[in-house]
């Protein structure tokens, strides 16, 4: 190696070192985007669209909207949902099929959202709770209707309104006897006269034969 080659490689090395330190220096002063989980669990922001696990929607009184129609069960592509129903007697003596248990297996769910989209009453939704890790697979099978089932009281049928008597038709206006009401005369059909077709104008007759002109007298004299 010559002295020239030695200094050339030395400067190349220094240039590469400075470039690398430049990138490191930039990252030192830029804002950090890495999430420090689980230290930041209290302030962690998860997108609302993230599908963590299926859950029932309960209102403040502990009612849910599931009518046990099994539409979600039929539309689930991999048998993750099992809707178990039961028959109950209502106050009005009728029977009704209601939800008994809503079973969901998180271990086989593909989070496709078909069950939520096809539910006619919007009874279920996905929560964005992502902390679902457990040590046993059987724990992933959950009953989603965790509150005691409550049946809303059947509303009493509204009393029928009393049938109002039908209004009598108004009497026809009296017509005085002496006023004869002429029946409208039938319009007689107007006889249509046959159209007279004008005869074609007769050609003008040739004029009567013109009287012969008298012969000149000179001729008569010669003959004498």
Enumerate binding residues for ligand SF4 (CB under 6 A).
54, 66-72, 75-78, 80-81, 83, 109-115, 119, 121, 123-124
In angstroms, give the least distance from the CB of 150 to ligand SF4: 15
In angstroms, give the least distance from the CB of 137 to ligand SF4: 16
| Residue placing its CB nearer to ligand SF4 in the complex, 78 or 154 | 78
| Residue placing its CB nearer to ligand SF4 in the complex, 13 or 120 | 120
- Assess whether the previous peptide bond of 53 is cis (omega < 30° from 0): no
At 43, list the tokens: 């302030």
Burial of 75 (0-12, 13-18, 19+ CB in 10 A): middle
| Residue placing its CB nearer to ligand SF4 in the complex, 20 or 62 | 62
| Residue placing its CB nearer to ligand SF4 in the complex, 7 or 50 | 50
Q: What is the dihedral of CA 72, 75, 78, 82, to 10 degrees?
A: 30
In angstroms, give the least distance from the CB of 46 to ligand SF4: 18
d(C-alpha 144, C-alpha 48), whole Å: 20
DSSP letters of 61-113?
TS--------HHHHH-TT--EEEEEEEEE-TTS-EEEEEEEEEEETTT-----
| Residue placing its CB nearer to ligand SF4 in the complex, 17 or 97 | 97
d(C-alpha 171, C-alpha 213), whole Å: 102
At 87, list the tokens: 């028959």
In angstroms, give the least distance from the CB of 67 to ligand SF4: 5
In angstroms, give the least distance from the CB of 64 to ligand SF4: 8
| Residue placing its CB nearer to ligand SF4 in the complex, 8 or 128 | 128
d(C-alpha 140, C-alpha 80), whole Å: 11
In angstroms, give the least distance from the CB of 130 to ligand SF4: 15
């Amino acid at each position: 190696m010559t002295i020239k080659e030695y200094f050339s490689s030395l400067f190349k090395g220094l240039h590469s070192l400075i470039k690398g330190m430049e990138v490191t220096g930039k990252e030192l002063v830029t804002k950090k985007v890495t999430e420090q989980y689980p230290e930041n669990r209290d302030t962690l922001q998860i997108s609302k669209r993230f599908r963590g696990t299926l859950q029932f929607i309960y209102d403040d009184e502990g009612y849910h909207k599931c009518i046990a129609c099994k539409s979600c069960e039929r539309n689930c592509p991999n048998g993750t949902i099992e809707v178990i129903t039961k028959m109950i007697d209502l106050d009005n003596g009728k029977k009704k099929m209601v939800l008994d248990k809503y079973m969901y297996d998180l271990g086989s769910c593909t989070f496709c959202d078909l069950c939520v989209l096809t539910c006619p009453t919007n009874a279920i939704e996905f929560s964005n709770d992502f902390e679902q890790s457990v040590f046993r697979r059987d724990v992933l099978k959950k009953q989603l209707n965790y509150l005691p089932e409550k049946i809303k009281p059947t509303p009493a049928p509204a009393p029928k309104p009393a049938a109002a008597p039908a209004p009598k038709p108004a009497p026809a206006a009296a017509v005085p006897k002496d006023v004869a009401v002429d029946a409208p005369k039938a319009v007689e059909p107007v006889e249509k006269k046959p159209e007279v077709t004008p005869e074609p104008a007769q050609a003008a007759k040739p004029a009567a034969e013109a009287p012969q002109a008298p012969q000149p007298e000179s001729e008569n004299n010669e003959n004498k």
